[in-house]
Amino acid sequence: VNSYRQALSKLKETLGDSKVFDDPKILYAYSFDASGLSSGRPFCVVRAFSREDVVATLKVAHKYSIPVTVRGSGTSLTGASIPSENSIVLDLSPMNKIIEVNVVDGYVVVEPGVRLDDLNSELAKYGYFVPPDPASSSTCSVGGCVAEDAGGMRGAKYGTFRNWVLALEVVLPDGETVFLGEPVMKCRQGLSLLHLMIGSEGLLGVITKIYLKIWPLPEKIVRLLALFNRVEDAGRVVAETRRNGIIPLIMEFLDRNVLKFVREATGLNLPEAEAAIIADVDGPSEAVWRYAEKLKKMMERCGAFYVKASDDPSEMEKLYTARRAAYPACLKLRPMPAVLIEDITVPPSKIPEMLKSIYIIAEKYSVPVVVFGHIGDGNLHPVIYTDPRKPDLWSRAEKCFEEICLAAVRLGGTIAGEHGIGLVKRKVLVKELEERKSLKALELMKKIKYVFDSKGIMNPGKVFL
Amino acid sequence: VNSYRQALSKLKETLGDSKVFDDPKILYAYSFDASGLSSGRPFCVVRAFSREDVVATLKVAHKYSIPVTVRGSGTSLTGASIPSENSIVLDLSPMNKIIEVNVVDGYVVVEPGVRLDDLNSELAKYGYFVPPDPASSSTCSVGGCVAEDAGGMRGAKYGTFRNWVLALEVVLPDGETVFLGEPVMKCRQGLSLLHLMIGSEGLLGVITKIYLKIWPLPEKIVRLLALFNRVEDAGRVVAETRRNGIIPLIMEFLDRNVLKFVREATGLNLPEAEAAIIADVDGPSEAVWRYAEKLKKMMERCGAFYVKASDDPSEMEKLYTARRAAYPACLKLRPMPAVLIEDITVPPSKIPEMLKSIYIIAEKYSVPVVVFGHIGDGNLHPVIYTDPRKPDLWSRAEKCFEEICLAAVRLGGTIAGEHGIGLVKRKVLVKELEERKSLKALELMKKIKYVFDSKGIMNPGKVFL
């Protein structure tokens, strides 16, 4: 208790009162993130405006061995940004400057608190973008995207954030700063600490500056909507596109219930179907309609009863809104107070089987499950409804969650495509590695964590059980 | 000595005489790689035909604490595959099976000894390829490409091998096997051991199986040749393409002397110029000529006195041969018996300045230097001629090498784009990290090395001084 008091006064002394908060109402607000979970009440909140603020905070935390949870916009769906009991929440959202847009050298430099959509609005002025697009892009911070290796709809074509990070400035747990990578397209520096840092969920240090590769915006996009009477038919489309050498910019899946929720939440006039696919093909204006027609035929071959392709901006915007609204609509219209959201990813050829398994498992545990996701890269987000006040239902939902994860692993896939492990997937990560006879990997990770953070102060309780 | 004898008989007993070699002539042959360096005579050579062979070898090496250097085709230009004195060379070239081409799931599974061109020939049957294309692609092994995070001409558009690895089977130094990643487009498993392993130059374990993402072959390519009277004018082309939102498939630079060497070595009828750029633009057939014309105009704006674009296969092949022949021609016609090859990478806007610096530094030390490289991603390969039998010349060449590296670092670039650190760049890696005030990174790397390999048997002497 005494060391906490000392730490607090040291923080206030170094950073100034205006950046350090211990008002219980503020602490309460910071004890949640978008996962809906809460694991503990922080001891204080530091709002960092600069690398120096981060260094000062970590030095105090290190000295007094107080846990630190870094937070950007708090949009983690796995609880990665939830503080543990009596920790410091290090809020980087005030570090929100776009430092440099360097078109000729192909990169942008940002502070971690910049919101992804703000970054892409700025880059659009130059005809460029950073392609990964998590559904939370209007809110989520770029720092969070890097720390969680976030993905999104364009993953099949453009990968996740890992593919776009050139260099990082990182403050290590003891307050020392390192610069990893260089702002160039190719860089080798021995063992890649840069890539170890990407996706490390706040376990190794604090990212204070980010160099991202930028890419020319697609010249032209044609958007397609395809409707299916059978979920498995929709599931077959991805394999069909691969067979034909087409990688759509996005290919999104919504099942009957998600379609219904979106219709009700947005008022959009969407047709009824067992499943829908929304896909974008992009390319030069001379060729993009040829791709669109080809994709249309593939969808019909797979059994779509309706396919429409359009390059009309308002029509396209409507479909995009429908997909973006999927998760919010699932939350808004949820039949129960809480959800568990999956992030499984399977090889495209296994999508039909995976979809079937999901509904069978949901029925087995009598838990409502709706499914949407980035079917183009095999990444599905089944939403499992539950109620924490009903222990029996909660336990069935948890079992359902775990069994869906394991089904994905057994189909050669993973329990986590882009949301990270956080709190929610710690147990299923062990199961996945167990299934691959690779529990040793977990041991190695823990030892690496110790190399960076021997006091164990960085985001304790996350990733590892 | 006794433990070496025991180890040898154990290896022969477990693996069979036909896979274990200690004939001095064979040991001599294995004490070099394409870097031209030799650091020591191995104690024996094991030719591995399977993961089981690798496991057996590592168990013996681990038990008797004998160093192991893994080798694929030995095409490392930095000495990464050179054995240290009295080590075991673990030759993976017999593990050369393409295990599975899975077009619908977008990946291929190979053993590490598969040659890159063989892999791409097989994939071409399906209309796919693995894009990174080191100049040694006819010889180099895929395992080496992953262990060295190899790049090549297509780096600006498609990155290095890191961007194409989905999963790896790895045998750890104590003989235990782990599977890292999954054969899917997005996968999160906590701290990324997968990406730590990529580019780790044999320091952490032995890669025994590789899952690579595959990509549709370009629909159509137009190739351009541009000639310049001033090297700096050629250097300005890359920034100009970025400004116009074009990322060519390849953009290669050859200076006056490299052009001359290529002409003499290949008999190709290439014009004289201070500098040449060979560039490919790719895309759908409807649009690719529009890009080519646009690029042609940019090159002219930058000062090219001659630009020709062609989609005629024989004309295109001629130019490709010219570029591929650059390094072999530099070796064949070298005015001196040895070379040091650079692998610096700078931001594109700094290329003109970098080129100027290279020639100034070469003159300062009176060392012949010729320059070619992947200018599209800022990756230049100055070739420094020298002679190990002339200590003064050798020392000047080394100083020239180091000063060019540092010039790149000071321009915001790196000492190593795609060749790795190996033996040759250990000192300049320290300099680069020193310049970035990040020597701590080197400490962390060494500790991580220890986490994987507490006995220090994996490729000792490489990467770290």
- For chain B, 465 residues long, give each residue's pLDDT as a single digit of tens: 789 999 999 999 999 999 999 999 999 999 988 888 877 899 999 999 999 999 999 999 999 999 999 999 999 999 999 999 999 999 999 999 999 999 999 999 999 999 999 999 999 999 999 999 999 999 999 999 999 999 999 999 999 999 999 999 999 999 999 999 999 999 999 999 999 999 999 999 999 999 999 999 999 999 999 999 999 999 999 999 999 999 999 999 999 999 999 998 888 888 899 999 999 999 999 999 999 999 999 999 999 999 999 999 999 998 888 888 888 888 887 778 889 999 999 999 999 999 999 999 999 999 999 999 999 999 999 999 999 899 999 999 999 999 999 999 999 999 999 999 999 999 999 999 999 999 999 999 999 999 999 999 999 999 999
- How far is A376 from A253, CA to CA, in rounded Å? 9
Q: Which of B154, B189, B286, B451 to mutate to test the interface with A (most CBs of A within 10 A)?
A: B189
> Apex CA B448: angle with CA B443 and CA B451, to 5°?
135
- How far is A456 from B277, CA to CA, in rounded Å? 52
Question: The whole model's pTM is what?
Answer: 0.97
Closest CA to A56 of A3, A4, A16: A16
Which residues is B199 bridged to in the sheet?
A: none
Pairwise CB contact (< 8 Å): B414 & A179 = no
Largest CA distance in chain B: 70
Pairwise CB contact (< 8 Å): B200 & A180 = no
Sheet order of strands, B44-47 included: B20-21, B44-47, B88-91, B68-71
Pairwise CB contact (< 8 Å): A412 & B183 = yes
For residue A6, the distance in angstroms to the closest alpha carbon of chain B comes to: 29
**Cα torsion through A351, A352, A356, A357, rounded to 10:** -40
**Nearest residue, CB atoms, A451 vs list B193, B414, B448:** B448
**Nearest residue, CB atoms, A105 vs list B188, B349, B432:** B349
- How far is A85 from A95, CA to CA, in rounded Å? 25
All residues of chain B having their beta carbon less than 8 Å from the beta carbon of residue A191 are: 196, 199-200, 203-204, 445, 448-449, 463
For residue B285, the distance in angstroms to the closest alpha carbon of chain A comes to: 8
- How far is B281 from B221, CA to CA, in rounded Å? 6
- How far is B6 from A239, CA to CA, in rounded Å? 53
A219 pLDDT above the threshold of 80: yes
Q: What one-letter code names the amino acid at B204?
A: L
Query: What are the residues whose beta carbons fall under 8 Å from the beta carbon of A364, sequence distance 6 or more?
Result: A400, A403
Terminal C-alpha separation, chain B: 27
All residues of chain B having their beta carbon less than 8 Å from the beta carbon of residue A447 are: 451
> What is the average per-residue pLDDT within A225-252?
94
A327 pLDDT above the threshold of 90: no
Pairwise CB contact (< 8 Å): B421 & A287 = no
Q: Which of B184, B208, B425, B464 to mutate to test the interface with A (most CBs of A within 10 A)?
A: B184
Pairwise CB contact (< 8 Å): A191 & B200 = yes
Pairwise CB contact (< 8 Å): B185 & A159 = yes
All residues of chain A having their beta carbon less than 8 Å from the beta carbon of residue B146 are: none
Task: Please report the DSSP string for A321-385 in residue order.
Answer: HHHHTHHHHHHHT-SSSEEEE-B-B--GGGHHHHHHHHHHHHHHTT--EEEEEEGGGTEEEEEEE
A446 membership: H or E segment, kind and range: helix A439-452
Pairwise CB contact (< 8 Å): A178 & B379 = no
All residues of chain A having their beta carbon less than 8 Å from the beta carbon of residue B442 are: 190
- How far is B164 from B211, CA to CA, in rounded Å? 8
Kind of pairing between the strands at B379-386 and B369-374: antiparallel
Closest CA to B174 of B84, B61, B87: B61
pLDDT at B416: 97
Which residues is B304 bridged to in the sheet?
A: B228
Q: Where are the beta strands (DSSP E) in A360-432?
A: 369-374, 379-386
- How far is A71 from A148, CA to CA, in rounded Å? 11
Task: Please report the DSSP string for B15-31 in residue order.
Answer: H-GGGEE--HHHHHHTT
pLDDT band of A337, cuts 50, 70, 90: confident
Pairwise CB contact (< 8 Å): B185 & A441 = no
Tell me: the pLDDT tens digits for A392-441? 999 999 999 999 999 999 999 999 999 999 999 999 999 999 999 999 99
- How far is A431 from A439, CA to CA, in rounded Å? 9
- How far is A452 from B304, CA to CA, in rounded Å? 51
For residue A123, the distance in angstroms to the closest alpha carbon of chain B comes to: 12
Pairwise CB contact (< 8 Å): B437 & A177 = yes
Q: Which range, of A257-266, A360-369, B404-413, B450-459, averages the lowest pLDDT?
A: A257-266
Pairwise CB contact (< 8 Å): B184 & A413 = yes
Token code pair at residue A62: 């290190």
Token code pair at residue B221: 């390519």
Closest CA to A38 of A72, A89, A3: A89
A174 pLDDT above the threshold of 80: yes
A238 membership: H or E segment, kind and range: helix A237-243
All residues of chain A having their beta carbon less than 8 Å from the beta carbon of residue B203 are: 191
Pairwise CB contact (< 8 Å): B188 & A215 = no
Long-range contacts of B398-403 (CB under 8 A, 24+ apart): B398/B340, B399/B365, B400/B361, B400/B362, B400/B364, B400/B365, B400/B367, B400/B369, B401/B340, B401/B342, B401/B428, B402/B427, B402/B428, B402/B431, B403/B361, B403/B364, B403/B365
All residues of chain A having their beta carbon less than 8 Å from the beta carbon of residue B104 are: 238-239, 242-243, 347-349
Comparing alpha-carbon positions, the chain B residue that sits nearest to A153 is: B186
Query: What are the residues whose beta carbons fall under 8 Å from the beta carbon of A127, sequence distance 6 or more?
Result: A216, A217, B245
Which residues is B381 bridged to in the sheet?
A: B372
pLDDT band of A271, cuts 50, 70, 90: confident
All residues of chain A having their beta carbon less than 8 Å from the beta carbon of residue B188 are: 148-149, 199, 343, 414, 416-421
- How far is A288 from A224, CA to CA, in rounded Å? 12
Q: Which of A189, A286, A443, A453 to mutate to test the interface with B (most CBs of B within 10 A)?
A: A189
B391 membership: H or E segment, kind and range: helix B391-410
Comparing alpha-carbon positions, the chain B residue that sits nearest to A248 is: B216
Q: Which of A184, A212, A288, A418 to mutate to test the interface with B (most CBs of B within 10 A)?
A: A184
pLDDT at B322: 86
**Nearest residue, CB atoms, A178 vs list B176, B247, B441:** B441
Pairwise CB contact (< 8 Å): B193 & A105 = no
**Nearest residue, CB atoms, A216 vs list B155, B245, B464:** B245
A299 pLDDT above the threshold of 80: yes
Comparing alpha-carbon positions, the chain B residue that sits nearest to A421 is: B190
pLDDT at B39: 75
pLDDT at A352: 94
Q: Which of A188, A204, A250 to mutate to test the interface with B (most CBs of B within 10 A)?
A: A188
Q: Where are the beta strands (DSSP E) in B206-297?
A: 206-213, 215-216, 220-228, 250-255, 275-283
Q: What one-letter code names the amino acid at A174?
A: D
Pairwise CB contact (< 8 Å): A451 & B451 = yes
**Nearest residue, CB atoms, B199 vs list A185, A192, A291:** A192
Which residues is B289 bridged to in the sheet?
A: none
Q: Phi then psi for B213, rounded to 5 degrees?
A: -70, 140
Which residues is A227 bridged to in the sheet?
A: A276, A306
For residue A290, the distance in angstroms to the closest alpha carbon of chain B comes to: 10
Terminal C-alpha separation, chain A: 27
SS (H, E, C) B240-264: HHHHCCCCCCEEEEEEHHHHHHHHH
Q: Which range, of A39-53, A85-99, B329-343, averages the lowest pLDDT?
A: B329-343
pLDDT at B202: 98
**Nearest residue, CB atoms, A160 vs list B128, B186, B215:** B186
> Apex CA B129: angle with CA B128 and CA B134, to 5°?
170
Q: What one-letter code names the amino acid at A116?
A: L
All residues of chain B having their beta carbon less than 8 Å from the beta carbon of residue A377 are: 184-186
Work out how many CB contacts closer than 8 A connect A with B. Answer: 296
Pairwise CB contact (< 8 Å): B189 & A416 = yes
- How far is B388 from B249, CA to CA, in rounded Å? 38
Judge whether A234 and A277 are in contact, CB under 8 Å. yes
Within 10 angstroms of residue B200's Cβ, the number of other Cβ atoms is 28
pLDDT at A24: 94
pLDDT at A268: 85
B47 membership: H or E segment, kind and range: strand B44-47
Token code pair at residue B111: 């053993």
**Nearest residue, CB atoms, A287 vs list B163, B203, B286:** B286
For residue A2, the distance in angstroms to the closest alpha carbon of chain B comes to: 32
Share of chain A above pLDDT 70, in %: 100
Tell me how far the alpha carbon of residue A362 is from its chain's centroid. Answer: 24
pLDDT at B330: 87
pLDDT at A462: 96
Q: Which of B99, B185, B251, B459 to mutate to test the interface with A (most CBs of A within 10 A)?
A: B185
Token code pair at residue B61: 């090496």
A39 pLDDT above the threshold of 80: no
Token code pair at residue B282: 């790719």
Q: Which of A185, A249, A439, A458 to mutate to test the interface with B (most CBs of B within 10 A)?
A: A185
Pairwise CB contact (< 8 Å): A447 & B449 = no
A1 burial level (CB within 10 Å; 0-12, 13-18, 19+): exposed
pLDDT at B454: 98
**Nearest residue, CB atoms, B185 vs list A172, A217, A378:** A378
Pairwise CB contact (< 8 Å): B188 & A290 = no
